[in-house]
Structure formats: C-alpha cells, structure tokens
Chain A
C-alpha cells in the first residue's frame, strides 16, 4: 500500500519559473491537503480539498494554485516562483474522522 506519493522529491527552480508538485493517494480519501514547512516552524496549510472538483484556501495560499479532478490526485502549481516559496512541501490525505496521512515531501529551492 503506497499511501501518499509525492513527486519530485527535490527540485531547484529559477525565480519566475513555474512547476507542478504532484500528489497521489491510493486510500480513497475524500480530503486532501497541501502544507509547507519552513525551518524551525510547524506546517502551514496552503490549500485543501474535500472531494473532486472542490478546493479551498488555507492559511498561506498566495502564489499557489490547486486542482482536484480525481479523488486520487491533488497537484499544487507554482506559477511565478519566488525565493519566499523555498520550503518543504507536504501533501496529506485523510482528515474528518480519519487522521491525516503524509507523503515524504518535496524539497523546493528557488534561486
């Protein structure tokens, strides 16, 4: 059982470039989440989704976009990368009556 799978694991972007962080879960969870983790800080919620076609903003959504076309996939898009978006990004699924299960993260550097 793979759980939550994130790709890529590492990426370096130049300022102004765009990219999509991929997230897939095989647990048939309706709820999915994107968090960012900055050094010495807890995780901050970027966006979340309660099901296919439904997304909502979290605490720090600026500079990001998401879509949810299927139950399994919840990609996070950065349109114009900025140095402030250097972080480790975690995708999670679950929530509601289930605890959240996390992927291994994507370490992103913007130079």
Chain B
C-alpha cells in the first residue's frame, strides 16, 4: 500500500536558519502530495500542496517540489522564525484529482526554533 516516510524529530534550529524536512513516498499511480502543519492544541492546517510531477507548492515562505524521479517532496524554508515551531506532516492522496480516499500521513516532524 501507499506510505510516507519523513525525517524523525525533533529538529531544533536557531532563528533565521535554513530548514529542510525530508519526505519520501511510495505510491502507485499519480498521487497528490501535501504538507500540513499542526500547532499545539490545534488541528492540522494545509501548508502547501502539489498535484503533479515538477509542481512546486509554496506558502508563507515554505516551498516543496514534487520530484517523481526520487519520489520526494522535501519541505524547505530559507529563514525560519520562532513562530514556525510546530509539527509538520507530509501526506499523500492517491489521486491527482478527484477520488475520495483518505490521506496517508507520515509520522510528523516536530520543529523547534530557538530565538
């Protein structure tokens, strides 16, 4: 079945550092890929998405590129802030458009940004 693997945390960085959170996936067909963020005590919020190979999703300074050749969707940000501290989840949907199946999630990466 489908699966998502993301780097273990916690990841601790200083403010203004460069961030990379690795995510790789296994899926048949042409999945859509997502990054969700979860702040303490809250639900998941969509951060960005990509629906086909070579698409780049971006939002709030975060970026991720859908790489089919390496089955990866790594999350990057050039300069992190304390407010970026949260848990980040990589997820896939088995369909590039349409389809009702639920998302398959990675285990999450806890990011801690120190001032």
Residues of A within 8 A of B (CB): 4, 30-31, 33, 35, 40-45, 48, 50, 58-59, 90, 92, 95-97, 99-105
Contacts and interface: CB of A to CB of B under 8 A. Distances in A.
Contact of A42 (B46, B100, B108): B108
Contacts of A33: 102-103
A96 B100 CA distance: 5
Interface stretch (B37-45, B62-70, B71-79): B37-45
B107 A42 contact: yes
B103 A43 contact: yes
Contacts of A30: 100
A92 to B, nearest CB: 8
A108 B93 CA distance: 27
B102 A58 contact: yes
Given A42-B89, A48-B102, A58-B102, A99 B97 contact: no
Contact of A104 (B42, B49, B93): B42
A44 B107 CA distance: 10
Contacts of B45: 102
B29 interface: no
A45 B103 contact: yes
Interface string B73-115: 0000000000000000101010101111111111110000000
6 contacts: A35-B102, A48-B102, A97-B97, A101-B46, A104-B43, A105-B43
Nearest to A38: B107
A96 B4 contact: no
B113 to A, nearest CB: 20
Given A58-B102, A95-B93, A41 B107 contact: yes
A102 B46 CA distance: 9
A60 B64 CA distance: 30
B25 interface: no
Given A96-B100, A100-B103, A104-B42, 16 more contacts: A31-B100, A33-B102, A40-B107, A42-B89, A42-B108, A43-B44, A43-B103, A50-B100, A59-B102, A96-B98, A96-B99, A97-B97, A100-B46, A101-B46, A102-B45, A103-B43
